[in-house]
Amino acid sequence: MKVTNVQLNKQFDNDLKDKENTINQFTTTINQLQQTNLTLNNKCQQYEKLFEDKQNEFNQLTILNDEIKTKNSTLINEHEQVQGQLKESENKIIGLKQTIDNMNINYSKIINEHEQVNKQLEEKQKEIVQLTAIISQLKETNLTIDEKYEHIKKELDEKQNEIIQLKNNLDEIKRTNVTMSDQCEELKQTIEAFEESQITDRQLLEQTKIEIETLKQNLVDEQFNCNSLKQAQQSCIERLTIEHQQILENLKSEYLSMIHEKSEEIDSHQDTIENLRKELHEYEKKILQQNSELDHLLDEQNHQSQIIIRLKNILGVNTTNHDELLEHFVHKMEQYQLLITESERLNNDLIKQKSEQINIHNELQQLEQQYDDIKDELNKTKQELITNKNKYENQLNQVNESYEQLQKNKHSVDIQLENIQRQFIDKTKQYEQLEIKLNKSLIEKDEQISQCQENFNQQEILNNELRRELNDLNDELKSKTNEISSLQTNLNKIQQTLQTKINDIEQLSQERISLTENNNQKEQLLFERKQLTEVHTALEEKFNNLLSEKAGLENQLDTIRVQMQTTETTMNKRKQENLNKLEQAEKKIKELQTEGDSVRSEIETLRNQIDSLRNTNEENIRRITEFDSQKLVLEQEYIEKDQQLTEREEKIQELQLTLKQTQESGTKLRKALHKMKETITNNEQTHNQELEIRLRILTEEYEQKLKEQEAEYSAKLKSITKEINSQMEEKEKQFNQQLQELIDKSYQNENNIKQKIIEAEQRASITEEQLKEKQTETYRIHELENQIHDLQTMLESLNNRENIPIQTSDHAAQTNIEDSKSNASQTNANNTLHSCIVEPTEIDYLKQIVFAYMTGTDRMTMVKVICALLRYTDDEKSLIIDHEKKSQNRWLNSSR
């Protein structure tokens, strides 16, 4: 019995040692598990801090989102204000259009009055064939231009009708879009925002269309103003030509008046010459009578001289009859003396008549000199008239050349108008193409909206599926955490039981001496040991199962972490992209605001230009009225001068006729005087000196009188010619100034119109480019809004996920999830804290450590790892390591 008892005691001691070893192993495992729990708790705290940081970041993101929403609301309010301002500008533009229509009506009235005046002028200017032909050609060109203008108006009306139809179509499309938006409002608020942005874009497009239409109308008005200015230029040129003709006619009338005065003077001279001719004729008759008497007396003298000769002969022959002969001779001598007295008397009379003839001859010479002087003056005046005619012809040629240049300019302007019309047609085509593109883009946007809706639905479906999967995983995690918590409670209970058992074993070790006395107690202890071994095996099996389950859960958590990391990286990238896009969108919104301000400033500048054009039109109308009044005055003056010129030409013709007559009469008088001189020289040479002296005196007197008259006439002619030349020069200067002013104004107006057309085309191209850019920007903004909405939905889903209530025993799952988040954000230095869960190499290393601990080959590493994981203090670590060393020494001693 003693041997058996000793053997039993030895076996019991061995069993106790084995149990102590197993208990030590269990304690070490429990300590390791506690350390792991402590490390997991620390990780849970870290992950809770990270979660709080993430929540803070999320709160910041929500604040940013609210700020963005407020900014969007402010932008919407600003856009509504801009729309109100644009409506006000549209009302102002409508008012301006009404004023422009009134101006056009007034201008049409003025044109009708102008046409009536032109008709009257055409009736008055039927004499000028060339100008009428030119005017008819210009009228034909104007009719063609009017027909073209009416055709262009019809095309514009058709285009406007087409634009109205397109607007109606756009309104219908808007209505359909509004209905679609009403249907989609309940489901998607983002799509409503997108549609509102589309509506705003369309309003902007409509506004830009309205601006383009206003620009087109401004172009049409400017073209109309160009045509009106051209007509005004033509009318002014016609007026100036008429005024020039009037000036010529006035000059002709003045010249004719001068010629009439000269002709009257020549008529007076002719009357005096005719009177002198009559007197000469009477004197010639008297002289002929006297000559006949003198011939008769001479014949008698010759007869008496013959008789005296005969008497001498008779006296020489016979002296008987001397007394009788003497008596007869005395009687004859008395008769002879009577004849001598009569001859003296006749000689005196002849001398007187000769002196009178000399005087008459001098007067005739003076008259001939006057006639020659008048001829010279007439020739000079003719030459001056010819020079003036040449000047006026040159001026007329210059005017015609300027008129032809104006016609060429008009032709160039017509070409420019045709080019502008072509450009207008091209712009309308481009506008139609843009409308087609807009419709296509709207259709594409609708398709994109539908695709976005489908993608959104698909994403919602995927999100719902992911939510379900996450909920399932969360449920599984909850169940697993519950199981782990139950196992931990069981482990705690086992630890408590083990501690109680250890206490009992210590008591048993103390009571080894009393074992012999207490065999019954030993049997009970053996029974309890068996139970403990069974419980230990069961616990080991459960522990292995838990480890396997933990490994599977860890693998699932690894996959979830990888998925969460990918999702977080994608979310971070999307957040950054969305933030960048939001910044870009804000910048673009600011740029659009600046562009809107620039567009407003351009609209204001266009208004100012329209006002300036109105003022210029008013000034042009006022100047046209002034030119009309000046034209009427100049026409009257020109008509008067034409009449004066005609009268002067008639007087010149009369004077030429009178000059011819006077030349003929002068030649006749010269011939008669030459005959008289010959007769007088033949008859009486003795009285020539006295007669010559008298003739000289008379000629000198007549010459002085003629010189005085010539001086008076020359002074009068010079003064009249100076006045006429000064008037002509002044009229020419005025005419040239008016022509230059009109030409300069026409060029300025053409240049201004060209510049305005170019500026309008540039503005139209800029607005088209801005529309294109706005379309692209709106598309980008819509994409950004969709991406923001997607991010918001993802954030909401993450918030929903993170807001799921988790129990306190869920620290392991939370630590695993937070560990996955921290792996994406933290550096490689923190990877050592949770590397035992993530990488499979670390899991293998832990398996090796656990295997070495379970087999008993290496226990210190497991103890150190657990101490490091559970973060014991240095004292606690030293106590645990000393205890482990003591247990190993005991194990070695027992084995020995």
Domain boundaries, the chain: 846-895
**In sequence order, what are the residues at sequence separation of 6 or more whose Cβ sits closer than 8 angstroms to the Cβ of residue 237?**
399, 402, 403, 406, 739, 742
**What is the spatial distance between Cα 666 and Cα 277, in angstroms, rounded to a whole number?**
10
Which pairs from 846-855 meet CB under 8 Å and 24+ separation? 853/25, 853/28, 853/29, 853/32, 854/25
How confident is the model at residue 33, as a pLDDT? 73
**What is the spatial distance between Cα 532 and Cα 736, in angstroms, rounded to a whole number?**
136
Q: How many CB atoms lie within 10 A of CB 769?
A: 10
**What is the spatial distance between Cα 211 and Cα 607, in angstroms, rounded to a whole number?**
12
| DSSP string for 669-691 | HHHHHHHHHHHHHHH-STTHHHH
pLDDT, tens digit, for every residue of 48-70? Answer: 777 777 777 777 777 877 777 77
**What is the spatial distance between Cα 610 and Cα 790, in angstroms, rounded to a whole number?**
50
Phi-psi region of 850 (alpha: psi -120 to 50; beta: other; left: phi over 0): alpha
**What is the spatial distance between Cα 795 and Cα 803, in angstroms, rounded to a whole number?**
12
Contact 334, 271 (CB under 8 A): no
Q: If you ran DSSP here, which 8-state letter would residue 248 be given?
A: H
How confident is the model at residue 323, as a pLDDT? 57
**What is the spatial distance between Cα 824 and Cα 119, in angstroms, rounded to a whole number?**
95
* Residue that the structure tokens 């009427």 belong to: 632
Contact 644, 257 (CB under 8 A): yes
**In sequence order, what are the residues at sequence separation of 6 or more whose Cβ sits closer than 8 angstroms to the Cβ of residue 692?**
358
> Environment class of residue 465 by beta-carbon count within 10 Å: exposed (0-12), middle (13-18) or buried (19+)?
exposed
523-556 burial code (b ≥16 CB/10 A, e <16) = eebeeebeebeeebeebeeebeebeeebeebbee
How confident is the model at residue 408, as a pLDDT? 72
Amino acid at position 622, single letter: R
Contact 577, 787 (CB under 8 A): yes
Phi, psi of 319 (to 5 degrees): -105, 5
Q: How far apart are the first and last CA of the chain?
A: 27
Sign of the CA dihedral 845, 847, 848, 849? positive
**What is the spatial distance between Cα 527 and Cα 504, in angstroms, rounded to a whole number?**
14
| DSSP string for 640-656 | HHHHHHHHHHHHHHHHH
Q: If you ran DSSP here, which 8-state letter would residue 516 be given?
A: T
Phi-psi region of 856 (alpha: psi -120 to 50; beta: other; left: phi over 0): left
Residue (of 747, 756, 143, 736) closest to 409 by Cα position: 747
* Element at 1 (helix H, strand E): none
Counting as low any pLDDT under 50, the low residues of the chain are 1-2, 317-321, 802, 804-840
CA dist 745 → 145, 219, 233, 467 (Å): 22, 19, 9, 80
Q: How many CB atoms lie within 10 A of CB 441?
A: 17
**What is the spatial distance between Cα 7 and Cα 392, in angstroms, rounded to a whole number?**
165
Amino acid at position 620, single letter: N
Distance from the Cα of residue 654 to its chain's centroid: 70
How confident is the model at residue 723, as a pLDDT? 75
| DSSP string for 4-21 | HHHHHHHHHHHHHHHHHH
Residue (of 478, 559, 561, 578) closest to 794 by Cα position: 578
* Element at 244 (helix H, strand E): helix 189-317
**What is the spatial distance between Cα 567 and Cα 579, in angstroms, rounded to a whole number?**
17
How confident is the model at residue 175, as a pLDDT? 72
Q: In the numeric block, which tokens belong to residue 846?
A: 């832990």
133-166 burial code (b ≥16 CB/10 A, e <16) = ebbeebeeebeebeeebeebeeebeebeeebeeb
Contact 600, 84 (CB under 8 A): no
Q: If you ran DSSP here, which 8-state letter would residue 686 be given?
A: T
Q: What percent of the chain has pLDDT over 70?
A: 37
How confident is the model at residue 824, as a pLDDT? 38
- Please give the radius of gyration of the chain, using alpha carbons only, rounded to the nearest integer: 70
How confident is the model at residue 22, as a pLDDT? 75
* Residue that the structure tokens 């080019």 belong to: 419
